[in-house]
Amino acid sequence: MTSFTEENYLKIIYMLTEQNGGNEVSTNELAEHTQTKAASVSDMLRKLAEKNFINYKKYQGVTLTKEGQGIALSVIRKHRLWEVFLVEKLGFGWDEIHDIAEQLEHIDSKELTEKLDKFLGNPKFDPHGDPIPDAKGKMPLVSTTKLSEIAIDQTVVMVGVSVHSPAFLQHLDKNQITLGCTIKIQEISEFDKSFTILLNDTNTVFMSNEVAKNVLVQ
């Protein structure tokens, strides 16, 4: 049995490991993302290691074992499927779903997950463009680039975001930047690397470099 809390730790370790390019995740990093103190994290890491969910040597940070990774991927699968449900079926905005999916991701029923997946049409990506692992934990392949790294005059398609805060997503909404829209880069400021882009071949929009860094394109 894995508790709600253990599942959260494993999910966060998975995500931070990805971000670190496969490197160990540190105690302090985990403390930040779990909203707890380093001492509490230390405690939990000992427990997760005992259960063989993580590889843990004191002071050396952690990585997931195969088993831990399986649990993490199952939680991420559920999170992202529920996000699709909330947006596609219930009409939530992509900026409103994170906290609800954080709860739904812990509902424990394989049959439910698979029926939900089917009901949603076996989606491969969630409303933020994040890939949804399949029942075996296999992630769809994705290679994306930050919009901030695209050269002038190029045309690309918006396929994801690397920040999920409501404020950021609402900012994109306000500028009509949505998943699937086409973006042609018209100008990049010498001074602050801000972008002037043409959206869907129709309207011209200004975008700070800070935003462009968190918009993923193909």
Partner DNA sequence: ATTAATTTTTAGGTTTGTCTAAAAATTTGA
Partner DNA sequence: TCAAATTTTTAGACAAACCTAAAAATTAAT
Q: Rounded to an integer, what distance in angstroms lies between the CA atom of residue 104 and that of residue 183?
A: 34
The region of 113-121, 130-138, 165-173, 185-193 touching its own copies under the rule CB under 8 A is 113-121
Query: What is the identity of the amino acid at 17?
Result: T
* 45 binds DNA, rule: CB under 7 A: yes
One of 3, 19, 32, 119 touching its own copies (CB under 8 A): 119
* 75 binds its own copies, rule: CB under 8 A: no
Q: Rounded to an integer, what distance in angstroms lies between the CA atom of residue 123 and that of residue 133?
A: 10
Residue 213 has phi, psi (to 5 degrees) of: -65, -25
* 111 binds its own copies, rule: CB under 8 A: yes
Q: Which among 177, 175, 174 has a CA at the least distance from the CA of 157?
A: 177
* 39 binds its own copies, rule: CB under 8 A: no
Q: What is the dihedral of CA 149, 153, 157, 158, to 10 degrees?
A: 50
Q: How far is the CB of 70 from DNA (least distance, A)?
A: 18
The region of 57-65, 79-87, 168-176, 190-198 touching DNA under the rule CB under 7 A is 57-65
One of 18, 19, 23, 28 touching DNA (CB under 7 A): 28
By C-beta, is 29 or 126 nearer to DNA? 29
Q: Rounded to an integer, what distance in angstroms lies between the CA atom of residue 59 and that of residue 36?
A: 18
Q: Rounded to an integer, what distance in angstroms lies between the CA atom of residue 195 and that of residue 151?
A: 10
By C-beta, is 106 or 184 nearer to its own copies? 106
One of 18, 19, 37, 114 touching DNA (CB under 7 A): 37
Q: Which among 1, 114, 109, 20 has a CA at the least distance from the CA of 64?
A: 20
* 122 binds its own copies, rule: CB under 8 A: no
- Residue 54 interacts with, from its own copies, DNA, none (CB under 5-8 Å by kind): none
Q: Is 166 helix (H, G, I), strand (E, B) or coil?
A: helix
- Residue 178 interacts with, from its own copies, DNA, none (CB under 5-8 Å by kind): none
CB of 152 within 8 A of CB of 188?
yes
Burial of 208: CB neighbours in 10 Å, binned 0-12, 13-18, 19+: middle
Q: By the criterion CB under 7 A, which residues form the site for DNA?
A: 3-6, 26-29, 34-47, 56, 58-61
Q: By the criterion CB under 8 A, which residues form the site for its own copies?
A: 86, 89-92, 96, 99-100, 103-104, 107-109, 111-112, 115-116, 119
